[in-house]
Chains A and B, each alone.
Chain A
C-alpha cells in the first residue's frame, strides 16, 4: 500500500520568511496530492491540492510542486505570518482509489 513520509516534523521561522515542507510517497499510481492545515483544537482543512497531470499549482502565498519521477511533492509558503502557525499534513491517494494516506504532519511555528 501507499506510504507517505513527511519532513521535517517541526519548523520554526520568523515572520516574513518562507517555509518549505517536503513529502515523499511510494505508490507510483498515486494521482492526487492534497495538503491540509490543522490549527490547534480544530479540524484539518484543505489549503491546496494537486493532481498528477500538473507539476505546480499556486494560490496566493502558497504553492505546491510535484515531481512524479522522484515521487515527492512539496508545499511552499512565502511571506509567512503568525496565523500560518499550525500543523500541516500532506497526503497521497492510494493509486487511483478514494483512500488518502496522510503523512505524520509538520508543526510550523511563525514567530512575530
Chain B
C-alpha cells in the first residue's frame, strides 16, 4: 500500500510570506503528526491530529498551525515566515487510535526561507 505522501517536496519562500504543506497518511491511518527537523536539533514535535482534532501540541509559536480533514489528510501552515523556519518538515502517520505507536514518516517537505 502507498506510504505517507508529502507535497511539495521542495519550496523556497521569502521572509514574511506564508506556506502550506500537505500530508496524505497511509490508508487507514487516522493519526497524523508533524515534526520540524533542523541540523543539530533533531526532530521537534509540532502537533498531532486524530479525527480532525488536534490532540497534542508542541512548543512552537502560533504562526505554526495545522488541520486535518475527514479523509485524514492533513495540512500545516506557517505564516509570517522567518529565516529560522528553514527546515525539513516531516509528517508521520500512525494506526493508533490512542497511545503512542509506530510512526511511518513521509519523505518531508524541505522549506528554504530567504
| A residues adjacent to B (C-beta < 8 A) | 1, 6, 31-32, 34, 36, 42-46, 49, 89, 91, 93-94, 96-105
From the candidates A46, A97, A102, name the one contacting B100 in the complex (CB within 8 A).
Answer: A97
Instruction: Assess the B103–A43 pair: CB atoms within 8 A.
Output: no
| B residues adjacent to A (C-beta < 8 A) | 31, 33, 35, 40-45, 48, 50, 55-56, 58-59, 90, 94, 96, 98-108
Known: A31-B100, A96-B100. A101 touches B45 (CB 8 A): yes
From the candidates B33, B42, B59, B94, name the one contacting A89 in the complex (CB within 8 A).
Answer: B42
Instruction: Assess the A102–B42 pair: CB atoms within 8 A.
Output: yes
B84, chain A: closest CB distance, angstroms: 17
B58, chain A: closest CB distance, angstroms: 8
A11, chain B: closest CB distance, angstroms: 16
Assembly CA distance A100 to B45 (angstroms): 7
Q: Which residues from B are CB-within-8-Å of A1?
A: 59
Instruction: Assess the A98–B41 pair: CB atoms within 8 A.
Output: no
Q: Which residues from B are CB-within-8-Å of A100?
A: 33, 45, 100, 103
Assembly CA distance A100 to B101 (angstroms): 9
From the candidates A31, A45, A96, A104, name the one contacting B42 in the complex (CB within 8 A).
Answer: A104
